Amino acid sequence: MLTRRLTYAVAAACLLASSLLHAALPSAVDGQPIPSLAPMLESVTPAVVNVNSKTVERVRNPLAEDPFFRQFFGLGNVPQERVKQSLGSGVVIDAAEGLVLTNNHVIEGATELSVTLSDGRTLAAEFVGADPDTDVALIRIPSEGLTAVPLPRDASHLRVGDFVVAVGNPFGLGQTVTSGIVSALGRSGLQGLGYQNFIQTDASINPGNSGGALVNLRGELVGINSAIFSPSGGNVGIGFAIPVELAQEVMRQLLAFGEVRRGSLGIQTQDVTPQLAELLGLGQRRGAVVTRVQQDSPADEAGLKPGDVIVKIAGKPVPDRLALHNLEGLLPVDEAVALVALREGRELTLSTVLKAQLRQLGGADLDPRLVGARFVELPERVRQRGGEGVALEAVEPGSRAAANGLRAGDIITAVNRRDVSDLASLAARLSQPPPQLVLTVVRGRQAVLALME
């Protein structure tokens, strides 16, 4: 009994001391108010929303495949529907137009979208467009009573060490704020993602934060929270956000064209190996070695030649071929771009204008034996994993391409045993239709030779 009374007394004393301590906290030190993020967040949090996506999937009942169960229980051989729901975050970027930026992976495949505002309203959302290769998506909601997050005058002034705040909806808990610093800029090389130029931060980003806002201490949007690096699935202090200038450019193109139009130099490259560095006299310098230049391409017009080593593009260093490809895909189409290349020990500065990449090719435009097939570029996420070739997006039933055994989802990697890396090279291989046409087709985990007749 005595021990219990002592315990209660100690607890009461701790509570009293705690209340006195809090009551005694000063509102200012040396005449200056104690710093707080609250005033800034009062203007930012109304612009950060919860994005709710619903996806209806058609699934088959395995019991319905069994004739006994189908007859005995009256199970029809009709696919059933399964509804999947997911939560993420979004940022109101234009209050007058009701435009909300979020991540593509938050709304991908959704059949129904809604947005919940910080004031509790839930609004139906309309899909505007998405770019899987940068993981940016744009949706629209009714514009009444919205608040947009302020944008910085010049986002390029963001530096490593700057304080930032992440606002989102982690784990569906509701709006949550975390703070940290910018840990690194220009991060790339994350698996499963396309073009990358991430802001790295140690502000806690967890599942559900995707699509939320990363803001500076002035409350200006500097990034869209997108991904985390974690062996466990939870936050370990390594989060990534899409820079606001990249998200704005994607939004601009989605509104203008309904898609993102990327440019291409029209070259193939490889990394500088130690052996190549010695052969080309590069010393410790690294870059991307040009191995092929397409005729009449921007690179051809600029004067690039096989053997040149690109070390800089648009003022940014190029340490390897992956970095070059990444930067190339992030640059706007139809705008001049400067290249710095090494040729026989000399440094050259060249200029060209990126041309839009081919988006798709119809089989009828390539060869009569491919009529009914529609070819598209491989997703950038597949290319980041080393994939090469072109994808078959669709094959018309009963067409000549279908009769030749081609299927939607096939990947064409070679024509008559000559490699195909993209749509441009496929068109080049078939510029003069060969008497015999054999495609190397990758289907699942198998590669087969298919004769087109």
Residue of 105, 131, 264, 425 marked active site? 105
Counts for the chain of helices (H) and strands (E), in that order: 11, 30
Q: Is 114 an annotated catalytic residue?
A: no
Question: How many CA atoms does the CB half-sphere of 105 hold within 13 Å?
Answer: 17
Alpha-carbon dihedral 233, 239, 242, 243, rounded to 10 degrees: 170
- CB contact at 8 A, 352 and 328: no
Distance CA 228, CA 206 (A): 7
Q: Position of tokens 């490593």?
A: 160
Cα separation, 409 vs 227, in Å, equals: 28
CB 377 within 8 A of CB 357: yes
Which one from 183, 210, 297, 421 is the annotated catalytic residue? 210
Closest by CA to 242, choosing from 340, 353, 146, 106, is 106
d(CA 320, CA 384): 13
123, β-bridge pairs: 115
Burial (CB count within 10 angstroms: exposed 0-12, middle 13-18, buried 19+), residue 302: buried
Q: CB 299: neighbour CB atoms within 10 A?
A: 26
Active site residue 105: yes
From the number of C-beta atoms within 10 Å of its C-beta (0-12, 13-18, 19+), residue 20 rates as exposed
Per DSSP, 35 falls in state P
Q: What is the DSSP letter of 414?
A: E
DSSP E strand boundaries for 95-171: 99-103, 112-116, 122-124, 126-131, 136-140, 163-168
Question: Among residues 208, 205, 212, 196, which one has the least CA distance to residue 228?
Answer: 205
Tokens at 36, concatenated? 């707080």
**Is 226 an active-site residue?**
no
Helical (H) or strand (E) element with 442: strand 437-443
Distance CA 422, CA 429 (A): 11
Cite the DSSP H helix spans in 225-302. Answer: 244-257, 274-279, 298-302
Q: Which of 53, 86, 131, 135 is catalytic?
A: 135
Catalytic residues: 105, 135, 210
